[in-house]
Amino acid sequence: MVRRPFFWLIIASFSAFFGEVTIGATLYPFLTSWGLLVILPLYGLHTLILSSVVYRFGRPRFETLYLAGVIFGLYEAYITKVIWNPGWESPIHIAGIGIFEILVIVLFWHPFMSFILPIGFAELLTSKRKVLPSPLLKRPYLFAFIFGMLESSNSPSPFASFTSAVSTLGVILLLIYIWRQKFDRDDEMEGLLPTKRELRFLIPVLLLYYVVLGFGINPAAIPEIGPQAVIWLLYALTFYLIYRALEKSKREDIERLECGLDFYQLFVFSLIFTISAVLFSILEVQFHELKFLILAVLWLVGSGIGITSFWKSAKWALKA
């Protein structure tokens, strides 16, 4: 009874860490009521439900996971409203829609950081399918350094960066250690994901989060029908592409890796992330412009990756 929910907690932790902590949006998902009651359940429910759909009706290849991640990212419309009304100066706003917010947050950040990376790391604990992007598999410590740098860009101080990294990664390392010691049985990933019966409970819970947070977080920011219709069309297009991609992926085999998630490597990854976050936070105290430079590069690179990934996934899904 405990084993599968414990694995779900690990997936939710991965998603909250990569999706929120690495950009400094939520520094303490395990130590605050907001983190425990909103961030972990919201990210966990999205990841569990969408991954269950991918594994149940298709194969976990890049295109299916990426498109499911776009659906994940669209929560930034009706829950946070940042697609319509970001809390910062949006560089390009057309017809009530933040263009860069769509390109970076919806088409890049959430598909990769909140969904593909958590599923990829969870795969290394179980079936060992090659889900993580090849660059990250080849140079994990370089990406740990980059993620730490990104975390610093929204962190208020070096101390906050340090305590955030230690508290979050400390819990994740502990969860993985317990899993390895008590629950690890060389499972297939799909056997640990929610069943149809469990989805009948989890999906309404996620929808309830949408309703409560949608009306609870700045409801006045929900725009007129026009900007909302753009989001509806993006939802419809992405659902259609997911359907096509899942059907096509059934004929595909996914490469498996020879090694799983090495605890020592994960510890070094965590250490490098922490050092990088603290180091850049210290530098940003002296050079305030460094924060804006890091974020500017992220938005430019992220928008390019988002456009390319969506185009590639759509093209693959629609190709006969």
Task: Give the pair of three-digit tokens for residue 184.
Answer: 């690890």
Give the Cβ contact number of residue 169 at 10 Å: 20
Mean pLDDT, range 191-197, rounded to an integer: 93
What pLDDT, on the 0 to 100 scale, is given for residue 144? 97
Task: Give the pair of three-digit tokens for residue 311.
Answer: 């185009």
Mean pLDDT, range 100-126, rounded to an integer: 95
Radius of gyration of the chain (CA): 19
Inter-CA distances, 108 with 12, 26, 184, Å: 19, 18, 32
What pLDDT, on the 0 to 100 scale, is given for residue 188? 85
Task: Give the pair of three-digit tokens for residue 45.
Answer: 């429910």
Number of folded domains that form the chain = 1
pLDDT value at 320 more than 70: no
pTM of the model: 0.95
What whole-number percentage of the chain has pLDDT above 70? Answer: 99
Inter-CA distances, 291 with 136, 181, 187, 277, 281, Å: 24, 41, 42, 12, 9
Q: Which among 108, 69, 104, 71 has a CA at the least distance from the CA of 88?
A: 104
Residue 98 CA to residue 96 CA, distance in Å, equals 7
Mean pLDDT, range 94-121, rounded to an integer: 94
For 277-299, the pLDDT digits (tens) are: 999 999 999 898 999 999 999 99
What pLDDT, on the 0 to 100 scale, is given for residue 271? 97
Confidence of residue 263 (pLDDT cuts 50, 70, 90): confident
Domain boundaries, position 131:
3-318
β-partners of residue 298 are none
Contact 33, 66 (CB under 8 A): no
Residue 230 CA to residue 253 CA, distance in Å, equals 35
What pLDDT, on the 0 to 100 scale, is given for residue 227? 92
Task: Give the pair of three-digit tokens for residue 7.
Answer: 């694995």
For 32-70, the pLDDT digits (tens) are: 999 999 999 999 999 999 999 999 999 999 999 999 999
Inter-CA distances, 147 with 40, 138, 302, 312, Å: 19, 16, 13, 25
